[in-house]
Structure 1
Amino acid sequence: MSVSDEFDAWAADGRDKGMEERHWHTAKHVLSRMPVEAGDTVLDLGTGSGYPLRALADTKDIGRGYGLDGAPEMARNAREYTREAGHDNIGFVVGEFGSLPFEENSIDHVVTMEAFYYSSDPHETLREVARVLRPGGTLHCAVNYYEENVHSHEWQENIAIDMTRWDAGEYRSAFREAGLAVATQDNIADGEIEIPPAARFPTDDWESREAMVERYRTYGTLLTVGVA
């Protein structure tokens, strides 16, 4: 199954909103760290429901936002949600991560929330990001599917498309190879998901409370920040 087909099905089932709700716990911290100034142009790769751009429009007064997604139904839903929110400075396009439909040095900041690992060629994606970013522009790449997060390894078994599972060092190396200086890299914990008391374990999803705590409070989301 293609990425487009997989996520078109998710959009049709309303799972785009479910992803938004789950990822918001850490996404809001990622977005708050972005050095976005009023009037900046921001690109969101793998935009899903479009929530990162709407949040940035609300809090950082971006001048223009572009959400790119490989799934037409995701982009259609994002347009509708954004229209309802009254943001006329945000647009959505269907496209590939490895061939961004933007001119060189035309984007101030790029963000990708829990989508980079779906890229068919992550090295090409990073080169494309470096191409479209203006000097001094940033890429904020957030992933919860990565090597150190051992609790994420089984996720590949539950999805019909190939995913890239790099470790933190591989992210840093790939950023640098693409021409992006690595500014910071750290883990953002999910401090909001409810973790039941030990007496309620095992659950349907977790053998032990310790494993659940490790997954959400320790590993959380890996954020790598690159600068053009």
Structure 2
Amino acid sequence: MSVREEFDAWAADGRDRGMEDRHWATAKHALGRMPVEPGDVVLDLGCGSGYAGRAIRDTYDAGRVYGLDGSPEMARNASGYTDDPAVGYLIGDFGALPFADDAIDHGWSMEAFYYAADPHETLREIARVLRPGGTFFCAVNYYEENVHSHEWQDRISVEMTRWDASEYRDAFRDAGLVVAEQDFVPDRDVEIPDESAFPTDDWDSRADMVERYREFGTLLTVGVAR
């Protein structure tokens, strides 16, 4: 199954809203660090329901926000969640972004980058469309250090890229982006069940659950265009 087919099915099932609910706990902290100024043009890569782009528009008064997704159904759903004319949604390929050189001030991607068919090509495309000094905030929960995420590949039919933190840094640099920062954003908001709630279907132990949310959380890598 292709990425398009997989996520068209998710959108049809209403799972786009569920993605927003799951990711917001850490996404909001990473979004709060973006240096977006009023009037800036922002790209939300792999936008899903479009929640991040709408938050950027509302919080920073961005001039224009583009949400790009490989799933037509995701893009259609996202467009139905807003009537803001400054927020638009596109169907596109991560490896061939439909923007001119130096057209974007800042880029954002949450839980989508690892679906890129060629992640190195995607980073080169990001570097191409960013204006000098522009930033790319790349947030993922599926990465090598997060051992609790490794089984995710078995639950989805499309191939995913699982890099560790150093591989992200190297790939950003190879694409011509300066790595400004990288860290783990823990989830301090999710309510972890009391010990009496165990055993659960998803976790072997309470310690594993606590580690996943409080220790690993989201890996955030920030690149800056030269």
Instruction: Give the structure-2-normalised TM-score.
Output: 0.98
Q: CA deviation at 1:194?
A: 1.3
Larger displacement relative to structure 2 (48-57 or 191-200): 191-200
Identity of aligned residues (%): 70
Aligned residue in 1 for 2:68: 68
Residue correspondence of structure 1 range 76-115 to structure 2 within 5 A: 76-83=76-83, 87-115=84-112
Aligned residue in 1 for 2:7: 7
Aligned residue in 1 for 2:217: 220
Distance of 1:74 and 1:66 partners within structure 2: 14
Alignment partner of 2:119 out of 116, 119, 122: 122
Q: Aligned letter for 1:7?
A: F
Residue correspondence of structure 1 range 11-30 to structure 2 within 5 A: 11-30=11-30
Deviations 1:160-188 (A, max 9, x none): 00000000000000000000000000000
Q: Aligned letter for 1:13?
A: D
Aligned residue in 1 for 2:135: 138
Aligned residue in 2 for 1:168: 165
Aligned residue in 2 for 1:209: 206
Q: Aligned letter for 1:160?
A: S
Q: Aligned letter for 2:64?
A: R
Distance of 1:56 and 1:189 partners within structure 2: 21
Q: CA deviation at 1:197?
A: 2.1
Distance of 1:172 and 1:114 partners within structure 2: 17
Q: CA deviation at 1:199?
A: 3.0
Check if 1:199 corresponds to 2:224: no
Number of positions where the alignment pairs a residue of Structure 1 with one of Structure 2: 225
Aligned residue in 1 for 2:59: 59
Q: Aligned letter for 1:185?
A: Q
Distance of 2:24 and 2:61 partners within structure 1: 19
Aligned residue in 2 for 1:158: 155
Q: Aligned letter for 1:41?
A: V
Q: Aligned letter for 1:97?
A: F
Structure 1, gaps ≥5 residues long: none
Structure 2, gaps ≥5 residues long: none
